[in-house]
Structures are given as C-alpha cells and as structure tokens.
Amino acid sequence: MGDINVLEGQYVTAFAGRRDSYQVPLALCESSRLASFVTSYYYKKEDSALNYRLESVLPTSLTARRSSGIPDSLVRSLWRTELYEQLGRRLGCASHMYWKRIGLAISKEAARIATRHRANLLLYEPYASYAFKAEYPHHAPKKVLFHFHPHPLLEREIYALDRIRHPISGDWLVNDAGGLLQPSESEHVWKYADKIICASSFCKRSLVHVGVDERRISVIPYGVDCSNDIPINPSKSGFHAVFVGSGIQRKGLHTLLAAWRAAKLPRTSKLTIIARTIDPLMEEIASTTPNVQLSRGVSCNDLVSTYRAADLLVVPSLVEGFGQVYLEALSQGCPILGTPNTAVPDLGSEVDGVFCVPASDVHSLAEMLQRLAGELAGNLQIRERASLNAKRFSWTRFRAGIVDALS
C-alpha cells in the first residue's frame, strides 16, 4: 500500500469526448475535488508528436478537446478509445458495439485510479457500471452517478406510444435509436449509486419511473454562455419558426411536419429545418410540406443569426435528456417550444418565452403554432424576456450546483 495516495473528499470523473464542455471536471477542479479526469482523446500540449499523428485520422479539431481550467496532470487520456470509435464509424459498425467497449475501458481506468488514490467516483452513466460494481479493498468510495439521458425503459414506452399514434414512425426507429433501446446492464447501475445527478426533471422522472427514490436525485440544469448585448431582429415578413437538430424520430420532426401541415397559419409563414442528418423518408415529407426549407447545416455564426431572426425555435422531441438548443435559442432572444420530455419545463414559463405541448401530439402542436404565429411575430418584449431568462442559467451556476450536490 506504499504507493497509495489518499485523496479524501476528491473524485475521479469520467466520460468520452468533450461532453458538456468539460463542465463537471471543471467544477471539481475549481473546488479542489478533482483527483483525476478519465476521458478518451484529450489534447495535451506535451503530446505534440501524438497530436500530429492523430490529426490526419480524427475528424474533429484536436485543440477543442481540452479545458484551460483543468491541469493536464489531472487528465488520464485513453486515446486508443478514440481510435475504437473512429474505426467503428468508418467500418459501419453498430454504434452500441464500439461504445460498449469504450465505456468499459474508461470505467476500468476510473476504478483503477479510484483504488490507487482512495478517491470517490462521479461518473457519467455509460462509464459507471464496472467502476461502481468493482471491489475496493482499502476504502469504500462514494458513488455519484450523472444520468444525462432518460432511462431506456421509459424511452421504449414513449417510442411504443409514438408508433401507435404515428405508425409510419416505426420505419425510423431502428435508424434513430440503435443500441440505446437494447436492454443492458447499465440500465440498473443506479442501484449502486449513493447519489444521482440529472440535468432535467424529465431525466429524474424516468428514474423514478423505474423505482429510484426521488430523494436520491438532484436536478441541475445545464448552462449557456450569454452575450451582454443581443440585437433584437425579429422577422418582419411573417411568422418564422426554426427547427434545429437531427431529422430523426427522437427529435419529433415527424410530429412537427404533420402539425405544420394541419395548422392554419398566415400564408407568409416559414419553417426552416436545420439538420446535418435527416432520415430519407422524413426528408421526403419535408420536401412536400408547404413553406418548409431544409438546410443541411450552418456555421455557428449563421445559427446565432438564425435564432436572432426567427420568431420561435420549435423542437418537439419525444425523448431528450436536456436539449441544449433550447437554452442556446433563449440566449439569443428566441422563444422556444418543446415538450415535457425535455428540459423545457425546467427553463421557465410562457412569460419567459418558454412554451410546451405534449410529446407526439400533432393536434396540440398545431394549435400552439397557430396561437404563437399571432403572438410572437414582431414581439420585442417577449424576446427581451427570453434573453433575460437565459441569463439565469449560467455555467457558473451549473458548476456550483454540482459541488453542492456532493456535500
């Protein structure tokens, strides 16, 4: 035991990629609670030779895979897991197959470091199963679970209901959900957690649905970066709504297109769909729906301009762990319309520019679109309230919430 470094009160946290812009390890670091951050590829300046070699095979910017607030010395980068993912994508493998391997590798490393340092564990759900169940001979770590996606059992039930309401949606289910809907042992990892953190009340509701005591769960909404001065440029040519996200069943685009067809909207109304990927059948429906424009993706600057010009962001998701686009739109003064199966109920009320309709309900969505077409077009006051509302959800607030949940 001579090489064991006791770090009481500190945590090992772990996840692949740059999830949540590294806000959780940053929160731990700022409060002197970070023992180690285990991740996939992480850009360390000392690894310049490795960075150069990988730059030709990794599709994302390597320099984005870091946080200036986290010392490199506290990061354990399992860069081989990044190669698993990229190779799996290029070979066309089912995503749940290589993600299972990545999750296990990261979880094992988190357990190893926690054992060595006698540290606690704050792990994102896909990377928690092995580490939470492992034996720790010299200490009993506190186990905190970050459950960022709704529990699959409730998700499966929601998809089943959507197939009843919209039989054609069954054609999208396999392409959209993939392995997420396949039963796995990670569904039960919450049983080993001392505490659970969720970013939305919907995530919490999905866990209570499977038997978790709600007193064990803390809801800490994500944050957003807000500008101090936001130009208010609402559309002057009629009602302009925008959808931002993947064109798949989970995002509720099929519901939106059906509602857009059914709603009695002003003739100059326009729906812009911004989706880098879209299901072919969904794209066919969009192409035959009046006053709908499809964009395959825009730059960050163009997306900001779109939010500032649109009267409404509408993303009627069936299942969403949070839905960062809602906060992003609000931060630019754009009112939002979503469903209870997202973070929308956590973000405010109608007076704040936050509107909600039941998921998968075409009639309710069409009625709400009709109403908002009359209320939002050119409405400067609600845009100002939406922007002010977004300022309540800072990343500083989120990080403080993470630290408070550990006490």
- Tell me, what CATH number does 80's domain have? 3.40.50
Question: Which of 337, 366, 336 is closest to 260 using CA atoms?
Answer: 366
Q: Which domain holds residue 29?
A: 11-224+395-406
Which CATH number do you get for residue 347? 3.40.50.2000
pLDDT of residue 175: 43
Domain for residue 166, yes or no?
yes
Cβ 34 vs Cβ 58: under 8 Å: no
Give the dihedral of Cα atoms 154, 155, 156, 157; nearest 10 deg: 50
Kindly report which listed range (256-270, 288-302, 332-346) carries the lowest average pLDDT score: 288-302
Same domain (yes/no): 364, 217: no
Q: What's the structural domain count of the chain?
A: 2
Q: Is the pLDDT of residue 245 over 60?
A: yes
pLDDT of residue 78: 93
pLDDT of residue 167: 73
For the chain, give the mean pLDDT: 88
* SS3 at position 236: coil
Same domain (yes/no): 378, 400: no
Element at 120 (helix H, strand E): strand 120-124
pLDDT digits (tens, 9 = 90+) for 41-76: 898 877 666 666 666 665 556 668 889 999 999 999
pLDDT digits (tens, 9 = 90+) for 273-286: 999 989 888 899 99
Same domain (yes/no): 154, 250: no
Same domain (yes/no): 402, 382: no
Q: Is the pLDDT of residue 318 over 60?
A: yes
Question: Which of 77, 111, 110, 81 is closest to 98 using CA atoms?
Answer: 81
Question: Which of 273, 255, 282, 261 is closest to 362 using CA atoms?
Answer: 255
> Distance (Å, rounded) from C-alpha 256 to C-alpha 251?
9
pLDDT of residue 369: 98
Same domain (yes/no): 127, 181: yes
pLDDT digits (tens, 9 = 90+) for 91-115: 877 777 778 889 999 999 999 999 9
Cβ 75 vs Cβ 37: under 8 Å: yes
Q: Which two tokens stand for residue 388?
A: 């002010």
Domain for residue 199, yes or no?
yes
pLDDT of residue 367: 98
Cβ 330 vs Cβ 391: under 8 Å: no
Q: Please return the burial class of 400, using the count of CB atoms within 10 Å of its CB with bins 0-12, 13-18 and 19+.
A: middle
Same domain (yes/no): 383, 268: yes
Same domain (yes/no): 36, 112: yes
Q: What percent of the chain has pLDDT over 70?
A: 86
Total count of residues recorded for the chain? 407
Give the pLDDT band (50/70/90) at residue 226. Answer: confident
pLDDT of residue 55: 63
* SS3 at position 356: strand
pLDDT digits (tens, 9 = 90+) for 179-199: 444 556 668 899 999 999 999
Domain for residue 296, yes or no?
yes
Domain for residue 235, yes or no?
no
> Distance (Å, rounded) from C-alpha 43 to C-alpha 40?
10
